[in-house]
Structure 1
Amino acid sequence: MLWQTICEDTATYEFPVCGRDYFDKLVLIWKSQCQSVNRRLFGTVKVDDHSEEYLKVVHKAIEPADPYAVKRFEVRKLVAKDITFSQLSYEVSFTEDDSCVVFVPVQLDCKSKKFPHIPFSYKLSFVQLSDCRMHLSVSVPTTVLNCECEWILSNMFPTMIKWLKFIDPRKVVRNSNSLLDIEKYIVHYNMMKEKYGRQLVKNWTEKTDPKKFVYEDCGIATYLLEFWRIRECTPRKFVDMGCGNGLLVHLLNKEGVNGIGIDIRSRKIWANQLNDTTLIEAVFDPAQKENPLLDGIDYLIGNHTDELTPWIPLVAARYVPVWGLLLKKIGLAFLVQKGEEEKQFMKRQCGGLQTFLRNQHQIFKVKTFYVQCSLPVSGSCRILRKVVVGGKACIRDWREEGALKSKKSKAASSRNRAALCWMEENHPDGCPMKDKCYFKHKKL
């Protein structure tokens, strides 16, 4: 195959770089995050090398007589956002030499549907000009017309040069939406758009852009539904704090998830289109210890909470301290029934949990409950044995009286005073308890 270079540029750095490391990272980002440039895509999924799907795609991408047939290939399925595009589209990539990667498009379904990504083969190449300069280029087959390369010239290549200049080869690439099966997500999302979205857009009464807000909430609702489905943990009742137009609550209710929305002011759409959804106009006070609005709630949503955002974790800890969902019976049985071998193993770890907590007395405070076995002797009780029946541990609060053990407390206090207070030295607000602190403070 004959190639022609359609665009090229040079990246300059203020320090020496390893060109191969930077190029490899650029290619990895492009393979896994190309949806950030190509808005037709929701993402890509790597196909298992040992699957039948992989063999079928590679066989179609590379002719048997082709010299590339002996190369190692990576196959990624392209997940398109819209059903008007091919749902069985792939991109095969392989290394031609140490400085070049070739990408080949493959479509397994009907050719009448558009390919959602670059529909022809293309090649990325780099040359290290010096310790601080790298040259990047994109090439396509000579049979490809210039007008077909406009998107590469205007979108893809400028983004790649920007990535190349500011890339960090040591940083791990985090895939977005990694908690979901994105293929199932996009099918579910398109169903939500068809089932609810188009009708809501048609009858929209707010001044805001319906396509933006309706389809955005369809996406969020789909994400939550897929997240709960995968983990088999649909909440009994949720609350959307700062629900705004209430559309997210409405969509989740329609899909069978019980919940309510709270906002500081009502919207017209509440009465016009969402009158069958529980949306409450109220001021939510996060400092309030008990709020009747949160009765029975086991899942908090803070999509547009604004000033309430930093309070979400605190409210969740107060009202849903242990996730709020039921554990499976098998899980409880597993936690309670410990075999003798497992018990001995636990005891060997720092001498057991109780020993570990007591050894870390500067952090934990252990309260143990005893049952005393006693025998009356001459009008008094002689304690024969104390049996531990239970206990609890909590984070030690050094502001409390008796936080330091009373035994030899004076000696311990004077000994601790020799060490500088860590809070005083490192915390921007200094030590919050200078008068009672057991460590040394600098004199002003």
Structure 2
Amino acid sequence: MTEEYEILLNLSNESFWEAIYIFIKKPHLVNKRLWGCNILEKITIESAANLFKSFENLKIDNIDYDKICKKILVPQGSDYNHTPHYEVLIVELLPKNYEEKHAYHLVIVDRQKTSVAFYDITKHHQNLCPNFTYDFTYNENKLLLKTYAGNPKSTAWLKDTVLPQIVRWAQDTAKETHKKICKESLSMIAADKYYVKYNELKIKYGKNLVKIWPECTDPSKFVYEDVAIATYLLLLWEDEESQSFVDVGCGNGLLVYILTMEGYQGVGVDVRRRKIWEMYPKTVVLEETTVTPSNISSFSKYKWIIGNHSDELTPWIPIITALGSYNNKFFLLPCCAFNIDGTKYKRKDSSKSQYTEYLEYVQALCKDFGFDVHVDRLKIPSTKRICLVSKKRIYPEQEYESYCNYIKESLKTALRTNGSPDDFKTREKVERVRNCTQINKSIIDSIVKCVSNYLLAGCNKDTAWTEGREVEMSDIVKLIPADMLKVLKSECGGLQTLLRNNHHIFKVVNGKVQFRYPKTIEEVQDNIKNKKSNNTSLKTQVKPCWFFNNHPHGCPLSKDSCSFLHVYS
């Protein structure tokens, strides 16, 4: 039974093909059962006879060659014999679950008819993708999906998920503004090797590390992310001899641990020790040190300089690499945006995201310092997944000294300090708490009073108790004096965090602020029970009630029911 689904749209054939090839090469973008794919064969032929001949020499396990010949070529051979040229691809679909069997597609691209057909040629039964034939055709401003004897669930997925996504991809590629700093993933290594190696390391290190993770961070993210980065580096280095590395700003040291256990000599340095450092074998070298302009030469003995989400150290990775040795190389995965002097990077072009602009800034910095830079996209559980890799310089070795002098002069300009540039530190050893809890209490009280007065402005204070107005956060910001706003800007979350810290007074929802109705003792106790909290000994009526002392109508609750204490402060 054949079913057809049609969408009307105005596209060029080129945009259609770009979208189709995204679907062929990146099926995991729409199929969550897949990790990715591997194109095993790509053949351009002129007739069905040539296709038969091409398959005679292929030796791929788990492919049903009888299905190819009997169900695909023979019934439609007459059509193909009249096609001047078409492209045939054999695609291996790689499951996200490493233990699951792979599936295989035969894809036939007919450029003359602007049509592409997908055939399941897997020898065994598989559940990774549709096991029936389907095709897409674009003609006369119509994108047509045809399915042949498909099961309802897979047909619905093609119609409701794949077809609309192909339209979006085609429309995106048609826009001139659709330009990304990096379009391909894992372009510097073999994707099939990565798939195998990543899963080997995941089994070898990942599961055990997730179980014993002592840090307060999410182990499922940080462990598997570093396993993926280690996989990438190991494959990047596989053709090079005697690699050594230094991970600058190594944090939890997990990447250093995996690379060391896989036989590479290296060290991780960070300004602060982590709990997990004590759990690694003694062969894993981790040092607590601060990076300064005066000590970066000590890293020159390591061939690879690694910056993995290195925050303030990000723009320093090419500097350390450049001043270390002409033969030094780097791997850099930028995350938070910082300038060379440790200040926050500020976006200059509103048409780009800060992340995109910062990547461009770092890439330009690397090129300016003489590096041949490659940009690649990693497969990691993070939105910040674009990395920069350099294996060589753009200038001959005899110019190395002049480039070093240029970089040192650039560094002096960037670090305009009163003292020597050597006194500059990229990060302090003790991490400052920036959640608005360390702000001077008089500033906090002034801001709370300012916001409270604004919420009550225009309300009838002669009537019953009122929660006041609900106002936009943007309006609240305009009320705060400039000197206080400056203090808040150095805190994570700024004014919104300060108001949420005072959640017994305010509620902040969807960018709007309003007074919170005080909670009773019973409500607090019920909330603890519902959350199944271990903190069953949480005491009420310990702190003074803010509303009792500051609201024009006092507290709307009685002194016996309010969870705060009704005393004058």
TM-score range, shorter chain: 0.5 to 0.7
Gap change, CA 1:60 and 1:53, over 3 Å in 2: farther
Residue from 153, 175, 182 that aligns with 2:191: 182
Note if contact 1:107-1:115 (Cα within 8 Å) is conserved in structure 2.
no
Q: Is 1:309 aligned to 2:314, yes or no? A: yes
Q: Which residue of 2 aligns with 1:155?
A: 161
Question: What is the distance in 2 between the residues matched to 1:264 and 1:120?
Answer: 57
Q: Which residue of 1 aligns with 2:120?
A: 105
Q: Which residue of 1 aligns with 2:231?
A: 222
Note if contact 2:321-2:329 (Cα within 8 Å) is conserved in structure 1.
no
Q: What's the offset of the Cα at 1:254? A: 0.7
Matches within 5 A, 1:428-443: none
1:140-196 deviation line (CA, Å, top 9, x unaligned): 12x323233343344323321211112149999954223222222211111111111
Question: What is the distance in 2 between the residues matched to 1:201 and 1:128?
Answer: 54
Question: What is the distance in 1 between the residues matched to 2:59 and 2:78?
Answer: 17
Q: Is 1:197 aligned to 2:203, yes or no? A: no
Note if contact 1:47-1:54 (Cα within 8 Å) is conserved in structure 2.
no
The alignment partner of 1:66 has SS state of helix
Structure 1: 5+ residue runs without aligned partners? 130-134, 326-390, 401-444
Note if contact 1:78-1:91 (Cα within 8 Å) is conserved in structure 2.
no
Residue from 241, 245, 249 that aligns with 1:242: 249
Question: What is the distance in 1 between the residues matched to 2:286 and 2:42?
Answer: 46
Between Structure 1 and Structure 2, the one with more strand by share is: 1
Q: Which residue of 1 aligns with 2:90?
A: 75
CA RMSD of aligned residues (A): 3.5
Q: Which residue of 1 aligns with 2:428?
A: none
Question: What is the distance in 2 between the residues matched to 1:85 and 1:308?
Answer: 41
Q: Which residue of 1 aligns with 2:305?
A: 300
- Larger relative contact order, structure 1 or 2 (CA cutoff 8 Å, min sep 6): 1
Q: What's the offset of the Cα at 1:289? A: 5.7
Q: Which residue of 1 aligns with 2:265?
A: 258
Gap change, CA 1:105 and 1:57, over 3 Å in 2: same
Question: What is the distance in 1 between the residues matched to 2:253 and 2:328?
Answer: 24
Note if contact 1:89-1:106 (Cα within 8 Å) is conserved in structure 2.
yes
Question: What is the distance in 2 between the residues matched to 1:24 and 1:313?
Answer: 39
Matches within 5 A, 1:30-429: 30-39=23-32, 40-49=34-43, 50=54, 51-53=57-59, 59-63=66-70, 65-68=74-77, 71=80, 72=86, 73-87=88-102, 89-95=104-110, 98-108=113-123, 110-111=124-125, 114-129=126-141, 135-141=142-148, 143-168=149-174, 175-229=184-238, 231-235=239-243, 237-273=244-280, 276-285=283-292, 287-288=293-294, 290-292=296-298, 294=299, 296-323=301-328
Q: Which residue of 2 aligns with 1:4?
A: 3
Q: What's the offset of the Cα at 1:245? A: 1.4
Opposite residue 320 of structure 1, the aligned amino acid is: S
Q: Which residue of 2 aligns with 1:332?
A: none
Higher mean C-alpha deviation, range 115-124 or range 202-211: 115-124
Q: What's the offset of the Cα at 1:273? A: 4.7
Question: What is the distance in 1 between the residues matched to 2:400 and 2:289?
Answer: 36
1:17-52 deviation line (CA, Å, top 9, x unaligned): 5x3222222222221222333341323324153551
The alignment partner of 2:234 has SS state of helix
Q: What's the offset of the Cα at 1:234? A: 4.5
The alignment partner of 1:266 has SS state of coil
Opposite residue 232 of structure 1, the aligned amino acid is: E
Q: Percent identity?
A: 28
Note if contact 2:300-2:328 (Cα within 8 Å) is conserved in structure 1.
no
| TM-score normalised by L of structure 1 | 0.62
Q: Which residue of 2 aligns with 1:422?
A: none
Structure 2: 5+ residue runs without aligned partners? 44-53, 81-85, 331-396, 407-569
Note if contact 1:45-1:77 (Cα within 8 Å) is conserved in structure 2.
yes
Q: What's the offset of the Cα at 1:304? A: 1.0
Higher mean C-alpha deviation, range 212-221 or range 316-325: 316-325
1:209-256 deviation line (CA, Å, top 9, x unaligned): 222221221111111111111x23451x20111212111110111101
Note if contact 1:75-1:93 (Cα within 8 Å) is conserved in structure 2.
no
Gap change, CA 1:77 and 1:70, over 3 Å in 2: farther
Note if contact 1:62-1:68 (Cα within 8 Å) is conserved in structure 2.
no
The alignment partner of 2:140 has SS state of strand
The alignment partner of 2:291 has SS state of coil
The alignment partner of 1:45 has SS state of strand
Question: What is the distance in 1 between the residues matched to 2:281 and 2:134?
Answer: 50
Opposite residue 231 of structure 2, the aligned amino acid is: T
| TM-score normalised by L of structure 2 | 0.49
Note if contact 1:78-1:90 (Cα within 8 Å) is conserved in structure 2.
yes
The alignment partner of 1:205 has SS state of coil
Opposite residue 29 of structure 1, the aligned amino acid is: I
Opposite residue 274 of structure 2, the aligned amino acid is: R
Question: What is the distance in 1 between the residues matched to 2:398 and 2:166?
Answer: 56
